[in-house]
Amino acid sequence: MIGLVGSAHALSHYFQLVLPPLFPLLRDEFGVSWSLLGMIVGTFYVASGVSQFLSGFAVDRFGARPVMFAGLALLAGGTVLAGFAPGIGWLFVFAALMGVGNGVFHPVDFAILNANVATKRLGHAYSVHGIGGSLGYAASPIVTFALASAIGWRPTLVATGIAGLVALGVLATQRAELSSRVAHGVSMSHAGAASLFRQPAILACFAYFALVTASATGLQTFSPAVLNVAFDVPLALATSAVTAFLLGGAAGIVAGGFLAVRTTRHDRVAAVGLALGAALLLTTVVAPPTFATVLPLFAAIGIVTGATGPSRDMIVRNATPEGATGRVYGFVYSALDVGATIGPIWFGFMLDHALGQTVFAGAAACFVVAIATVLQVRRAGAVRAA
């Protein structure tokens, strides 16, 4: 069951990065700016954020499995349609459709894991879940770029979407394994839901996710362009830097899973990892990345920030009231989409205005501010416990 949930998470992350590797081709064909392309990604994540929030309620009411299947159908189907987009405007429409499908996965995945995995194994379960996402991220730029180079961007999107629909069919044959056994959440009024989302610990979790994701998504989406335009790193190597970052993140998540089951101070794990990630990003200000250093640098950033993932998920679990798993995870993880909306637009704006060399410093600043929010989660939790 853990493996199936991790595989579904890998699929969702793979589809999240299907469009960005095609940006140079889309820019040439449609003659649009980097900022506009960033807004396509922003549209995806706005739709995903709204969907993620609402999916939390759907999971608590209907269970995880049907919500998962509907989400994957929309995500893969939207990708097929994007391959037939007659103009740039239609890509916004299909990106929104893909985003709606993408939004279901965190409420679904964590509802299944939290309900079915023993507490002592949750750190490792979260690690498998995170590794699946990182591997999906790592594979997507390489495969998408290679396919687009060979057959063009339109056939690439169509083929990718069809593969996703096939994967949906395979997952549908595993209905028993994906049975969530999630107890429906207690009935809650609108006032009660609003009160839940105003809890300081949950708001701090939301802010943490938004800040970290703005930085990470900006790095994933525009690092190849930043490295190429601002630092003269060859485009193929710059694209490989994103893969190094994502593979490093997967390795970090493995280590983070062991840390998460051996400590109760998950806030410290998150704070130290983000501080190291910020420090590594700031080295680009004094020592610009070179042919020899760019891959080790991005792999190291991925390792230290990836190690925070399982502890991050434990922090949210510990802040979640009983019977509200879907709602809290839907709300908190919708911050991923808020950050993922802001990050690419911000990075694209800086590229358009010849500020590429400041992008990595800005990403580091997001990590630094996020440290304050994760420490606030613990303080708010201590107040609630008292």
**What are the structural domain ranges in the chain?**
2-176+196-381
Is the per-residue pLDDT at 268 higher than 80?
yes
What is the number of residues in the chain? 386
174, two tokens: 């595993």
72, two tokens: 């994957």
* CA dihedral sign, ordered 39, 17, 211, 67: positive
Q: What b/e sequence results for 306-338 when a residue is b if at least 16 CB atoms lie within 10 Å of its CB, and e otherwise?
A: bbbbbbbbbbbbebbeeebbbbbbbbbbbbbbb
Q: What is the arithmetic mean of pLDDT over 283-287?
A: 88
pLDDT, tens digit (0-9, with 9 covering 90-100), for 329-382 = 788 888 887 888 788 788 878 878 767 778 898 899 999 999 999 888 877 654
- Reported as a pLDDT band with limits 50, 70 and 90, residue 182 is very low
CA distance 386 to 382: 6
69, two tokens: 């299947």
Is the per-residue pLDDT at 295 higher than 90?
yes
DSSP code, position 234: -
Q: Is 85 helix (H, G, I), strand (E, B) or coil?
A: coil
CA distance 302 to 307: 8
Instruction: Kindly report the pTM of this predicted structure.
Output: 0.74
CA distance 136 to 148: 18
Is the per-residue pLDDT at 190 higher than 60?
no
Q: Is 344 helix (H, G, I), strand (E, B) or coil?
A: helix
Q: For the ranges 94-98, 129-133, 141-145, 266-270, which has the lowest average pLDDT?
A: 129-133
The CATH number, out of the four listed (1.20.1250.20, 1.25.40.10, 3.30.40.10, 1.10.10.10), of the domain defined by the range 2-176+196-381: 1.20.1250.20
Q: What percent of the chain has pLDDT over 90?
A: 32
Q: What is the arithmetic mean of pLDDT over 192-218?
A: 85
166, two tokens: 């096939």
